[in-house]
Amino acid sequence: MENGRRACAAMGTAHDGDDCMARMKPYVAAMLAMCLMIIGNGCTMRIGQKAPGAIGVIDVDGTAASVQPGGDAEAETRAPKTPKPEATPDPNVGLPLQPTLSPDADASAGTTPDPNVGLPLYPTPDPNKPMVALTFDDGPSKNTTRILDVLEQYGARATFFVVGTQLEKFQEITKRASELGCEIGNHTYNHKNLTKISPDEIQEQINSLNALILTATGKEVTLVRLPYGAGIKDKTVKANVPYPLIMWTIDTLDWSTRDTESTLKAIRQEVKDGSIILMHDLYEATAAAAETIVPELIAQGYQLVTVSEMFAAKGIPLEAGNYYRNAFGQ
């Protein structure tokens, strides 16, 4: 109580001690209540000291300070919360991952049309460059495959004058030859000398093989090579074989020698622009010769083409009943 009176005196109150104490009671009560509120925090508040939690300050003159924001946990709970903005959905979520293309990458890669699609497998012969026609008689046979392999490897073509009895055994080989751009000509069904048989037999020799070739290749025959070259001037033969008759410029005699080097020598000694070269694809030695001569002739600048292609490039028409030994243009 004595302390209370001293406080009254300090405030310069003109009333007596009892009146001063009476007026001090509300403030003292407020102070006690304040202390009780903060005792839980283990703190003792004195006049003029800010309590932990910053809920308020009592000035020495007894005036209660305002409550500081954030000091009252209950007030914090009551304060309205600013709603967080909802995340915008990612339009790519759930979609397959796409590769990232660099600025220089071609977005149309893999869809660019192939400029070679739809073009012929082999180009048309250039009439301004030399060319020769390799021809093979009496096949097909197992050795024909080796010849086709080298022709395909170098983009070359040849003409095969097939025999019916062989075609019946190797139809797939003939089909492949045709698909590679090679020409399939008629060499009769079973290689008979047409000058020694009747007109009906001549026609049978030609027509039966034509049917086999059509079945194997889907193409009609346009050229004939007579067995042994016999009958090119025979009126009966020419009357019953209404096709151009193809002879040869170089006879390699491979059917006789069956020797690779002899075959190569014959070609090397006589070949020139417009030559028709005769070989036989029945023999291993001939297949081996082809594997050498094809790249060799190409290296020398020759185009290896079919008989029909060479004559067309040279501007020489092929007419039924006429025979042709070369395309020299004479």
Catalytic residues: 137, 280
CA dihedral over 324, 326, 329, 330, signed as positive or negative: negative
Helix H segments across the chain? 2-10, 17-39, 73-78, 144-153, 164-167, 171-179, 199-217, 235-240, 254-257, 260-270, 284-299, 307-314
173: Cβ contacts below 8 Å, ≥ 6 apart? 139, 140, 141, 144, 145, 148
Class of residue 228 by CB neighbours under 10 A (exposed 0-12, middle 13-18, buried 19+): exposed
Backbone angles phi, psi at 251, to 5 degrees: -100, 110
CB 234 within 8 A of CB 202: no
Which residues sit opposite 135 in a β-bridge?
Answer: 159, 278
Alpha carbon distances (Å) from 265 to 95, 252, 259, 261, 306: 70, 8, 10, 6, 22
Query: How far apart (Å, rounded) are the C-alpha atoms in residues 160 and 183?
Result: 6
Q: Is the peptide bond before 130 cis (omega within 30 degrees of 0)?
A: no
